[in-house]
Amino acid sequence: MQNDLDRPLSEKEFLRWRLASDLERLLGTYRNREIGLRLLAEKTNLSEKTLKRVQARNSDPHANTLRSFYQYFFKVIQLSGEEEVEYQQIHSIVEKETVSFHSKSTDDDLSKVMAGDPIFRQIFLRSRTGLMLRSEIERSYGLYGLKIVDLMLKQDVIIEVDKHVYKEGPVSINKNGEIIKKVIVELIEANLDAEALNERGVNTAFYAVEGITPAAREQLLTKIDEIKQEIFKLMSDPDAKGEERIFVAMAMDTLQSFGTSNSKGELQ
């Protein structure tokens, strides 16, 4: 690790150095650095390509990169008392970078923020299930959650209907495949009550795997789309609105991890 005397002077250069050094610190816990980089990409919610840029120190880290990396870093690394003081600067810089990015956000930026920020996704989904109180957000997510609320208000993603009471606003967010996948995984991970699956009429979950023909695949996609439309219709019905906050998640795709088989049934 570099000596303190070697630190660059500018804030941007310091961030590049600090981020690369902390990535090396995490990679040092893995025997295989290549596998370690792949695992860290999953755990930090960053791409391997982004982490390799961090290693090379050839670009200024984006606010989302800083936030995602250090949210994980501070969970797994036990800092000494001396380090706690040093990392206060990192905390303040990350927060400043985040506020700066959010203050410049436009409608086009919102999907990028949603893709990169799990807290933003959680608050967005919460706002789509009924009235949302500022005090609830502060209790759950602290001051950072309130900054997200203020950003959503600024962009009309939510609107204020009473003092510190919000609801869904007129502006939606374009959700690409990356966002949809993250939302589905996070909803199930955080909310599906596995024990209640044994009780009738509480919740439901199922899975099905099979080898099928292209025609059957098309039929299955059509059936799922019909079910999806029925679910949306029911949930948007004014008479169905209530205080119970629920989620429905559905996905279908090819099993990539199983490989493909030839005419003899042998995996290729």
pLDDT, tens digit, 9 for 90 and up, residues 77-122: 887 777 777 777 677 666 655 555 555 455 557 888 888 888 999 9
Q: Which residues of the chain have pLDDT under 70?
A: 1-11, 89, 92-108, 257-268
> Is-contact 146 135, C-beta < 8 A?
no
The span from the CA of 6 to the CA of 151, in Å, is: 38
What is residue 201's DSSP assignment?
T
pLDDT at 7: 44
Total-model pTM: 0.58
pLDDT recorded at residue 96: 58
pLDDT at position 98 is: 54
133: phi then psi, degrees, rounded to nearest 5:
-95, 140
Strand partners, 159: 167
pLDDT at 258: 62
**132-133 β-sheet, strand order:** 132-133, 165-168, 158-162
Neighbouring residues of 108: CB distance < 8 A, sequence distance ≥ 6: none
